[in-house]
Chains A and B, each alone.
Chain A
Amino acid sequence: MTAPTASPAVCPRCSDEAVRTVAHSPVPDVWEVLQCARCLYMWRTTEPARRTSPGAYPERFRMTAEDIATALEVPAVPPLAAR
C-alpha cells in the first residue's frame, strides 16, 4: 500500500506554497486530495510522480503567476447593459 504523502510545501505545477487539503480518502489514510490556492491545480497524493512531484512535473504543463494573471478570459465578461 502506498503511504499517503504528507502535504507538500509546494504546488507541483506553479511552485506556490499555499497548498490545502480538499478531501481525505473514505478508507482512512490511503490518500488525500490537495489543491494549490493560486493556480487551483488539484491532485491526489497517490498519483504518479509526474503529476505530484515538483521535480518530475512536466515543463510544458507548468504555470507561472504571470500565466495566471494574463490568461485569456473565455468567454470575455460583456459590458453591463444600460438600465
Chain B
Amino acid sequence: MPYDDLRSFLDTLEKEGQLLRIPDEVLPEPDIAAAANAAGRIGEGAPALWFDRVKGFTDARIAMNVHGSWRNHALALGMPKETSPREQVEEFARRWDAFPVPPERRADAPWQENTVTGGDVDLFAVLPLFRLNDGDGGFYLDKAAVVSRDPADPDHFGKQNLGTYRMEVIGRDRLALQPVPVHDIAQHLRTAEERGEDLPVAITLGNDPVIPIVAGMPLRYDQSEYEMAGALRGAPMPIATAPHTGLDVPWGAEVVIEGVVESRVRQIEGPFGEFTGHYSGGRRMPVIRIERISYRSRPVFESLYLGMPWTECDYLVGPNTSVPLLKQLRAEFPEVRAVNAMYTHGLLVIISTAKRYGGFAKAVGMRAMTTPHGLGYVSQVILVDEDVDPFDLPQVMWAQSAKVNPREDVLVLPNLSVVELAPASQPAGVTSKMIIDATTPVAPDVRGNFGTPVKDLPETAAWAARLRTLLATR
C-alpha cells in the first residue's frame, strides 16, 4: 500500500527499525543539523531521526533524514529495505512506464484543521525553524514542494509544476525563493514578471515519501509530477485544492503555505550550503509573500541536511535523476543499458551502452548533455561497455584505466550551460564539459589492442551462487 502522508511512512520506518527517536533534549542549533549530518557519516542503513524535545519549544516534532539511506529510499517506494541501489533504479524505471497515472482528488484534507491568514501569518508560530550550516544566511525550508502554474496556460495540468526549491525565511510572512533558471518555476515566474503580475504559489511541507522524489525529478516541462507520483506509487496520487490559490497540492501534507512571488522584486538571499558541497549566495532573489497557512494539528516539520556529500539529498536525487536520463537516452538509443547519475545531481554521469558502430558511445555522451537535465547539469560523462555495471565503481575505474587512450577518448567541449550553483563553472552558469569514452572501440574505430579480453569463466555464475549458499549456511 502506498503512503498517503508522512506520518504513516514514519510508522513504517519505525517498525522496520529505520527511525531513531532522540530521547534527550537537544538545542535547535547546532544539534539537529549536526545529528542529521552525522547520519550520513555512520555507514550504510542510516535511520530517519525524530526530535520532539527541543530546547525552548513546547511542541516541536521534527523529522530529519527520512530518505537518508538506501534502506529508507527503498521503503519510501514500497520495496524491501535490502533492495540494492541498482535494483531500486531498475524498479523505478519499470514503474515509470505506467506514467501518466491521473491523480485522485479528495476532500477533507487533514491540513484543513487549522488556518491562519493575513496579518496573523507567522511562520515561527507554526514551524520549529532552525539553521543547518554555519554560513547559512538564516533558517531554510529545503524539503518543501512548491506548486505553481504557467500564467500563459493556467488550465494545463501537466504544466502545473511541483518542485523542490530552497527557501530562506526572511520574515514572519516572507520567504526568499531560488528559482534556478533551468527549472520549470523560473519559466512560470518569467512569464508572470513579463506581464508585471505576481505568481501564486502553494508550498507543501511534510509530504508523503514519494512527493519529495518526484519534486526533485527532471521531468519534461509539460509532464505532471502528480501523474508521475501515481506511477511510482502504483496508485493515483491523492491531491486536494488549496483554498487560497486554487493550486493542486498533496492531500496528505502536514502544512500548506499559500501566497505569491511578488512581481519584479529581488532581495538579498543566502548564502546556503548546497548539494554541491559548497555554499552559494548571497544573491538578490525573488520574494514570496505568505497570505495563508493551513496545517494539521501538531504538525511534523520535515527538513533535510545537505552539505558535503553524501547526505540525504544524494539519496533523494540519485535514482530520480538516473531514471529520466535512462528513459530519455533509451528513447533514441536502445543500446543504452544503465545510467548512474547519482553524483551531485548528475553533474557527473556514468552510462553503460552497447555500440552500434565506431564513435557511437561518444554520441550517447553528447546526447546526455542535451537532455533537459543535461543542459543544466551533465558536465562529465563516463561511457562504459554494456557488460560494465555503472553502479559498480571499481568496474568503472577498471574500464577507464584499461580502455581510455586520453588523446582520442577524452573530449572537452567549451562554454556550455550548467546550473550557476556548479562550483567549477566560470563565469557562474557556463562550463566546459567532458566526455570520457571508456568503451571498447568497435569498427570502423580500430584503435587499441582489445581483441582478446579475459571474460569471467562460464562456470563462475554457478560458483558465485554456490559460495553464497556455503557462506550463508556455515
Contact = CB atoms under 8 A, between A and B. Distances in A.
Interface of A is mostly: loop
B29 A51 contact: yes
A81 B282 contact: no
Given A40-B268, A41-B137, A41-B138, A71 B59 contact: no
Contacts of A80: 194-196
A46 B268 CA distance: 24
A27 B170 contact: no
B271 interface: yes
Contacts of A61: 134-135, 271, 279
Most chain B CB within a 10 A radius of its CB, from A40, A58, A79 = A40
A58 B30 CA distance: 16
A21 to B, nearest CB: 11
Given A75-B186, A75-B190, A25 B57 contact: yes
Interface in A33-78: 33, 35, 39-44, 46-48, 50-51, 58, 60-61, 63, 67-68, 71-75, 77-78
A22 B122 CA distance: 10
B interface bracket (residues with beta carbon within 8 Å of A): 35 or more
Contact of B178 (A13, A30, A48, A74): A74
Nearest to B286: A75
A57 B172 CA distance: 25
A46 B28 contact: yes
Contacts of A75: 179, 181, 186, 189-190, 286
B283 interface: yes
B131 interface: yes
A46 B55 contact: yes
Nearest to B186: A75
Given A63-B282, A80-B196, 10 more contacts: A22-B172, A26-B59, A42-B169, A46-B56, A61-B135, A61-B279, A71-B283, A74-B283, A75-B190, A78-B190
30 contacts: A22-B124, A22-B172, A23-B122, A25-B57, A26-B56, A26-B59, A30-B56, A31-B28, A31-B56, A39-B268, A40-B268, A42-B137, A42-B138, A42-B170, A43-B138, A44-B28, A44-B130, A47-B131, A48-B30, A51-B29, A61-B134, A67-B282, A68-B268, A71-B284, A73-B284, A73-B285, A75-B181, A79-B194, A80-B195, A81-B195
